[in-house]
Chain A
Amino acid sequence: MDFEPKILGIACNWCTYTGADLAGTTRLQYPQNLRVVRVMCSSRINPSFIFRAFQLGADGVLVGGCHPGDCHYNTGNLYARRRLAVTRKILEFAGIEPGRFRVEWISASEGNKFAEVVTEFTEQVRNLGPQTKFKIEQLPTPEKI
């Protein structure tokens, strides 16, 4: 069977999530590999969410927020930009392919951009193959002495 990546999407309520809605209502096609979680702002994303997603079996994580300057809370995504840039560096230094994590600014009117980004990102993750480094295979692991 072909590898179908599992991708976690974390989208901001005001822009990207609404953008996804728009993509849906305009009947744009995009891969079904994305599972979207809505948060109130991209700065609400705790980096641990991303580490945990990879541990629980995500092959890629896509974060969406408003364009810088357009944040519903004025500055939220400007903090998020710095924070997620660090997350990216940490994942990279730990040995995760940087291509598995992506941050995109997608506004509420950019339904087509949302569909494009998801299509492109899914292909990218598909090419990288399954993510096995962080993934917890099973919990009851053999004892250590």
Chain B
Amino acid sequence: MKKTSINKISDLAAELLGKGTLVAPVKEDAGFNFREISNAGQVDLNFYNTLMSPKSAFFPQTEDFVRYDKNKSVLDAQCVDLNLKPVFLFGVRPCDAKSFQIMDIHFSGTGVVDPYWKKRREATTVFGYAFDINTPADGADFYSTLNIGAADPEGSDVFMMKRGDELLLKAVTPKGETLLASLTSLADASADEQKYFDDTVAAGRDFKTRFTCVDDKVIAKKLEDLFHKTEFWEKISDACLSCGACTFVCPTCYCFDICDETLFSKGVRRRVWDACMFTDFTLEASGHNPRTKVYQRLRQKICHKYSFHVRKYGVISCVGCGRCTRNCPVNIDIFSIVDEALKA
């Protein structure tokens, strides 16, 4: 286990920059966001959580697959290769680190491997960063409801936490171990600090956000039973505008669309985020659209995350980061809907 002083964080950042690409939260107009760092001084750990989720480090909003020229043969089209330097994803909150494991199921866990996701995932070392358990959680968060602790190292390669002016770093995976050993700007931590680290991880599990814990299976079953109760879904979707803000900020939403974008003759086939809340998401080529109503789309979103996903993969596809709630234009809270469903 290692440590460094908070005001010397730029030394650590500079060392990581020397080894590869550093992606860390940067303060922007609307809040913090993960961005590629060019100057070590930019790294700032005084954030609660980022506006957009860190999924874009592995699953960017646009990813180019093939470049082509319409005036040439199909055979001349080129696949876009990823040549990545090692990437250090710095300051990921425990709930977001957990989201990477859920996303792994879709991009590499079911037999079909997404090469872009896999390459990015392999090149990246995740630096988890514990929530401060001495200050109350943001009103929108509900990660403890989904059994994620405020200081869970799970999902990270290296896990960091603050202790006064010190930043403690502990390797979680062999990848993290090798990296930590090679960093010279860090000092060794004492046994006392080791104990503090373990205590905080344990205390983080008892840290409470909104709502009480409910069994995954119970939620999944209840939502399945409710699926055909149109009245219930119509009522909860009264306020929903059916925009994509919640899905785009979500760390576990992975739907995408593949589109060709051409300028004159040259173009690119790319993957772009899509959202189940958009009307044209389910529009079929025949013109038929199975989900034309807002309630059908909202039902899909909630049942997918909390019911179908549990049935298929055994875990809820939500980590309780609260981003959807914070960014909803009309203040819809996804877990309040689940809560209501449980009472219905």
Contact = CB atoms under 8 A, between A and B. Distances in A.
A–B contact, 8 Å CB criterion (strictly below): yes
Interface in A72-128: none
Contacts of B57: 145
Contact of B61 (A56, A136, A138, A144): A144
The 3 closest A-B pairs by CB, nearest first: A139-B263, A140-B268, A145-B36
A22 to B, nearest CB: 33
Contacts, number: 30
Interface of A: 56, 136, 138-140, 143-145
Nearest to A142: B64
B34 A143 contact: no
B86 interface: no
B35 interface: yes
Nearest to B268: A140
B267 A143 contact: no
B316 to A, nearest CB: 27
B30 to A, nearest CB: 15
B162 interface: no
A145 B60 contact: yes
Given A145-B34, A145-B36, A138 B62 contact: no
A121 to B, nearest CB: 25
Contacts of A136: 263
Contact of A143 (B62, B261, B264, B266): B62
A139 B267 contact: yes
Contacts of A138: 263, 266
B60 A144 contact: yes
Interface in B255-302: 261-264, 266-268
A136 to B, nearest CB: 6
22 contacts: A56-B263, A56-B264, A136-B263, A138-B263, A138-B266, A139-B261, A139-B262, A139-B266, A139-B267, A139-B268, A140-B64, A140-B268, A143-B60, A143-B62, A143-B63, A144-B56, A144-B62, A145-B23, A145-B34, A145-B35, A145-B57, A145-B60
